[in-house]
Amino acid sequence: MRIKPLLLCVIIFCITIDLHAQEIFSPNGKIKVVVSLPNKTANEIYFTTFYKVNNGFIEAMPASPLGINRADEQFVNNLQLTKESKSISIHDRYQIVCGKRLLCENFGTEKTFSFQNSNHQPINIVFRVYNDGVAFRYEFPDRSFTAKNILDEATTYNFPDNTNRWMQPFEAAYENFYPLNKTGIGEGKSRQEWGFPALYQVNDQPVYVLISEANISENNCAAKLSNLQNKNQYKVVYPEQRKEFPHTGVVTTLPWSSQWHTLIIGKLSDIVESTLITDVSKSNQLKETNWIKPGAVSWIYWANNNGSKDYKKVVEYVDGAAAMRWPYVLIDWQWDIMSNGGNIIDAVNYAKSKNIKPLVWYNSSTNAIDTSNNSNDWFKYATPLFRLNTPEKRAQEFSWLRKIGVYGIKVDFFAGDQQDMMKYYIDILKDAAKYQLMVNFHGATVPRGWQRTYPNLMTTEAVYGAEWYNNGPTLTNKAAAHNTTLPFTRNVVGAMDYTPVTFSNSQFPHITSYAHELALAVVFESGWQHFADKPDAYHSLPEDEKNFLQNFPTAWEDTKLIDGYPAEKVIMARKKNGIWYVGGLNGKDERQTLVLNVNFLKDGNYELQLIKDGHDDKSFLSEKIKVKKGDTIKVECLARGGFAGVIKKMKE
């Protein structure tokens, strides 16, 4: 049979596609990754990501290059495919101590591509396509006892042009805003570097992608993104050298695996509810976890803009925690020079006498601290210093804390995202667990999956939070929009110590309503929720509002995004012991009606205790409403207002 020329061309094209582009599908068929392999005309590797809308796929991320470089070898444009694995089904179920839900379950498809470079050195690129996103990583499978320096990656994410994006200009402590940005061009002094996570909308489609990374080990650094060369091309960039760590990237023996590069994909509800960051992270490494207890914390710093050197002030916050039935009090910095009636031992004993569990603050002593340098003078007062920097010092300190009855630590002021800092974080978590101490990281990198691996990690700051009301006027006018952006960005990837729910003012005022502030307890997830206001501000609340906070849980069985859009509005529902807690925020500077749909309820009759804006931003209106599955409740919110509520099933 004679084949027509046109048909022959189609056949050749199809064979070429089959040989040089491999498709990987998620188990539910919604996400497809096409890996374009090297061939005679193209010697680089790309991946393209598609998402199914209605009956067809749209391009969620255009073709994006892959590759990685070591000081001794490059693995970018000189690779030859040597093997590709069969597709492997991934199905994982695990419990997590605190997070969006107690029981996490994921389904995915894994495929490994093995290559060698022109010097016959091997590398694997592993893809996992989950029902809610994509993860991939690099592996050097051969063995070498000589340390290798992994310098950088060619990994680049290509964004669709003119798409909405919400990205935080990079800052070492990840304390910045996520403004809506269409151009990809930063403002002010930005060097076109951006921190994880990074959210964008796929053109005008109701499809979103949140980019981050997970499963950082002692042999990884944490990365950021740079679009300096092209506004729509975001390259993965390793942190710069530091005096204490004079290397770029990672220094390690082989075999070696990179972090998982992650893309959560879908509707905004898919983004917010995803557990992909912990799904791809190493499983729990602690033998026992029954000593790990999430809970509410009374926090001394915010209202006083000072530490805990005043014993009587600490006593006030212990009494405040007891009155609010919160399990914890944080004794913040300068506790080592406490006076005015008692010292740290007296403070710990007083807390225990009130059945309150004390937590204490530490300086990581890594952030360019030089007490001989006048420019760093203030660090002299951020004490205690240099108590956790070696295994021996940690053992001594943690043993003492356990002996006197401390339950956890807050470690602050980390130096950056270099490999030595990643190791330091992990060493603290491991060593603290030996003494049954829970941990809170401040002035730190964003979560990258440790919440699963080391469940004594209760929360991490890495957010422009309420503490900034102490530092300047900026948050005052931006808080409402910022608060309604964080659930779609920063808080997706892990617990967030924003230190919320303030009714009085610190150094600079807030203009969000009281109901907005109350709702933050629900909207923001954190294993330790540090309530930042002074005790009197909580004691003076009306009965319903006080009762809401007195009985508030901080670890959840389930989480649902009911409605929302970054910087405009958000409505969240979280479940604990069969009770649903709801919170809604108006991110606009004008009135807005928020619609609470309770379709997440099971059949039956329920009662909603709704607390919403009153006649002004400093008053509440509380009411009880009978609801059932499928009902919608319209809540009128003030400018920068909100609502909170509790939904309980009624007795039959």
- 261 and 368 within one domain: no
The structural domain count of the chain equals 3
Q: What is the mean pLDDT of residues 99-117?
A: 97
Q: Characterise 254 by phi-psi region: left (phi > 0), alpha (psi -120 to 50), beta (else).
A: beta
pLDDT digits (tens, 9 = 90+) for 423-434: 999 999 999 999
Q: Which residue has the tokens 């009985």?
A: 551
- 598 and 452 within one domain: no
Question: pTM for this structure?
Answer: 0.95
Asked whether residue 151 is assigned to any structural domain, the reply reads yes
102 touches 91 (CB < 8 A): no
Cα 489 from chain centroid (whole Å): 8
Asked whether residue 38 is assigned to any structural domain, the reply reads no
- 219 and 308 within one domain: no
Asked whether residue 10 is assigned to any structural domain, the reply reads no
CATH number at residue 240: 2.70.98.10
Query: Taking 50 as the threshold, does the pLDDT of residue 320 lie above it?
Result: yes
pLDDT band at 378 (very low <50, low <70, confident <90, very high): low
Query: Taking 80 as the threshold, does the pLDDT of residue 369 lie above it?
Result: no
Q: What is the mean pLDDT of residues 430-453?
A: 98
Q: Which of 279, 306, 327 is the last residue of a domain?
A: 279
**Predicted pLDDT at 368:** 52
Which among 291, 264, 325 has a CA at the least distance from the CA of 49?
264
Integer Rg of the chain from CA: 26
Q: Which residue has the tokens 């991320």?
A: 61
- 3-class SS string, 530-583: EECCCHHHHHCCCHHHHHHHHCCCCCCCEEEEEEEECCCEEEEEEEECCEEEEE
**Predicted pLDDT at 191:** 73
Tokens describing residue 370: 């030089």
- Rounded Cα gap, residues 555 and 273, in angstroms: 14
Asked whether residue 13 is assigned to any structural domain, the reply reads no
**DSSP line for 82-96:** EEEPPPEEEEEEEE-
Element (H, E) at 311: helix 311-324
- Rounded Cα gap, residues 573 and 522, in angstroms: 7
Q: Which of 556, 589, 615 is the last residue of a domain?
A: 556
**Strand ranges (E), 55-202:** 56-66, 68-70, 74-75, 80-84, 88-95, 103-116, 122-130, 133-153, 156-158, 165-169, 180-181, 193-201
- 615 and 481 within one domain: no
Query: Taking 70 as the threshold, does the pLDDT of residue 188 lie above it?
Result: no
Query: Taking 70 as the threshold, does the pLDDT of residue 379 lie above it?
Result: no
Query: Taking 60 as the threshold, does the pLDDT of residue 377 lie above it?
Result: no
Phi, psi of 23 (to 5 degrees): -100, 140
Q: Which of 279, 312, 327 is the last residue of a domain?
A: 279
Q: Residues near 223 by Cβ (< 8 Å), separated by ≥ 6?
A: 153, 196, 213, 236, 237, 238, 239, 259, 417
pLDDT band at 209 (very low <50, low <70, confident <90, very high): very high
Going by their DSSP bridges, the two strands 180-181 and 21-25 should be labelled as unpaired
Going by their DSSP bridges, the two strands 88-95 and 103-116 should be labelled as antiparallel
- 493 and 426 within one domain: yes
Q: CA 367, 368, 370, 376: dihedral to nearest 10 degrees?
A: -90
Going by their DSSP bridges, the two strands 528-531 and 295-299 should be labelled as parallel
Among 39-43, 210-214, 414-418, 522-526, the least confident range:
39-43
**Predicted pLDDT at 7:** 41
The one-letter code for the residue type at 180 is: L
**Predicted pLDDT at 6:** 41
**DSSP line for 462-485:** -S--GGGGTT-SHHHHHHHHHHTT
Which among 36, 44, 58 has a CA at the least distance from the CA of 163?
58
- Rounded Cα gap, residues 494 and 336, in angstroms: 31
Asked whether residue 532 is assigned to any structural domain, the reply reads yes
Q: What is the mean pLDDT of residues 629-637?
A: 97
479 touches 513 (CB < 8 A): no
Which among 396, 389, 400, 345 has a CA at the least distance from the CA of 367?
389
- 304 and 236 within one domain: no
- Rounded Cα gap, residues 621 and 502, in angstroms: 18
Tokens describing residue 373: 């340098």
Q: What is the mean pLDDT of residues 348-367?
A: 96
pLDDT digits (tens, 9 = 90+) for 255-290: 999 999 999 999 999 999 999 999 999 999 999 999
Query: Taking 60 as the threshold, does the pLDDT of residue 440 lie above it?
Result: yes
**Predicted pLDDT at 78:** 87
Q: Residues near 13 by Cβ (< 8 Å), separated by ≥ 6?
A: none
Tokens describing residue 639: 């400018």
Q: What is the mean pLDDT of residues 103-122?
A: 97
pLDDT, averaged across the chain: 94
- 436 and 515 within one domain: yes
**Predicted pLDDT at 306:** 85
- 315 and 229 within one domain: no
Phi, psi of 68 (to 5 degrees): -155, 150
Share of the chain above pLDDT 70, in %: 94
Q: Collapsing DSSP states into helix, strand and coil, what is residue 590?
A: coil
- Rounded Cα gap, residues 317 and 331, in angstroms: 9
The CA-CA-CA angle for residues 382, 383, 386, to 5°, reads 115
Asked whether residue 76 is assigned to any structural domain, the reply reads yes
Provide the domain limits for residue 128: 63-279
Sheet harboring 21-25: ordered strands across?
21-25, 31-36, 45-53, 56-66
- Rounded Cα gap, residues 475 and 508, in angstroms: 9
Asked whether residue 54 is assigned to any structural domain, the reply reads no
pLDDT band at 315 (very low <50, low <70, confident <90, very high): very high
Cis peptide bond N-terminal to 160, omega within 30: no
- 132 and 76 within one domain: yes
**Predicted pLDDT at 381:** 78
- Rounded Cα gap, residues 535 and 485, in angstroms: 29
Tell the burial category of 371 from Cβ atoms under 10 Å away from its Cβ (0-12, 13-18, 19+): exposed
237 touches 223 (CB < 8 A): yes
- 645 and 616 within one domain: yes
Residue 339 DSSP class: B
pLDDT digits (tens, 9 = 90+) for 464-476: 999 999 999 999 9
Q: Collapsing DSSP states into helix, strand and coil, what is residue 184?
A: coil
Asked whether residue 119 is assigned to any structural domain, the reply reads yes
- 466 and 404 within one domain: yes
Phi, psi of 141 (to 5 degrees): -85, -15
CATH number at residue 616: 2.60.40.1180
298 touches 328 (CB < 8 A): yes
CATH number at residue 415: 3.20.20.70
Q: What is the mean pLDDT of residues 446-454?
A: 98
Element (H, E) at 395: helix 391-404
**DSSP line for 2-32:** PPPHHHHHHHHHHHHHHHHEEEEE-TTSSEE
Within 10 Å of residue 650's Cβ, how many Cβ atoms? 11
Q: What is the mean pLDDT of residues 562-570?
A: 98
- 372 and 266 within one domain: no
